[in-house]
Structure 1
Amino acid sequence: MLSITARNLASALRGSLVGTSSRVAAVRCLHGTEESAEEFDKRYEKYFSRDGIDGWEIRKGMNDLLGMDLVPSPKIIEAGLRATRRVNDIALAIRWLEGCKDKCGDQKATLYPYLLEKITPTLQELGIPTIEELGYDKPELALKSVYDA
């Protein structure tokens, strides 16, 4: 599959270097249209809110989101949590929360509490504990640092 994609890309680039305008237009169309943040949020909310969505599709959507260079909005996080509750997969809900926390990166001290504040009503409604309530925020077998007094 990779070789087919590489071959198609090479032929498209070759055509654009020669000056064939139809191939240049085809390459430009590959980028698609830009969508606003609201449209992006609605698309993923709709994806997670579908009737009949199963665990595999939920995992696929979550994996796609966590692979992007962004932190999911609270609305998307809530939609993902509701989807995990519909399929009755608490482990997936916890992993979703861990993934969203990890996506906060170096802004974890400010961004993650904001996200928790926004999604706490949904967590309570669905009966899903936070990572901190479960004690998953600290490693179980961690040793005290020799540098701590």
Structure 2
Amino acid sequence: MILTGALRVAAASTSARAAVLSRAAIPMGMQIRNYSGHSETFEEFNARYVQFFDGVQDLFELQRGLNNAFAQDLVPSPEVIEKALQASRRVNDYATAVRVFEGLKAKVENAKQYEQYLQYLEPLRKELGVDLREELYH
């Protein structure tokens, strides 16, 4: 069962961003089986990967974390993607930052969800100077 669900756009009251994505389609407390056979909730998954990407200090560790996060049967939350992008730039690997968006595009259910992620991540993407593959190769 794919747990990606529909993304919902809601107004952000204190944020400079125009939209905030949420994972409304995943019921609160739903258990997700990860690659090691243990179960965790979507919230625990997000917290684990946000913390993981905050602590990444080298390229190998970053790529290992991305492989594990994208191997799950769900789309990582926007917060996880933000931390992965920041980690990519922290370890000075531009190519991995671009590949994060490629992985995201392959993981979402449809083009509309990908556009919502792009809209949400646009300020960070511009701040970090990360182009999309579509922008690099017309």
TM-score using structure 1 length: 0.63
- Residue identity matched to 2:48: R
Residue 128 of structure 2 corresponds to 126
Specify the SS of the correspondent of 1:35: strand
- Residue identity matched to 1:44: Y
1:1-149 aligned at under 5 Å gives the runs: 32=38, 34-50=39-55, 53-104=57-108, 107-135=109-137
Bigger RCO of structures 1 and 2 (CA < 8 A, at least 6 apart): 2
Note the aligned Cα RMSD (angstroms): 1.7
Q: Percent identity?
A: 42
Specify the SS of the correspondent of 1:125: helix
* Separation in structure 2 between the aligned mates of residue 54 and residue 108 of structure 1, nearest angstrom: 32
Q: Which runs of 5+ in 2 are unaligned?
A: 1-35
Using the TM superposition, give the Cα deviation of residue 108 of structure 1 relative to its aligned residue in structure 2, in angstroms: 2.5
Using the TM superposition, give the Cα deviation of residue 31 of structure 1 relative to its aligned residue in structure 2, in angstroms: 5.5
| Aligned pairs, number | 103
* Separation in structure 2 between the aligned mates of residue 97 and residue 54 of structure 1, nearest angstrom: 19
Residue 26 of structure 2 corresponds to none
Specify the SS of the correspondent of 1:66: helix
More strand per residue = 2
TM-score using structure 2 length: 0.68
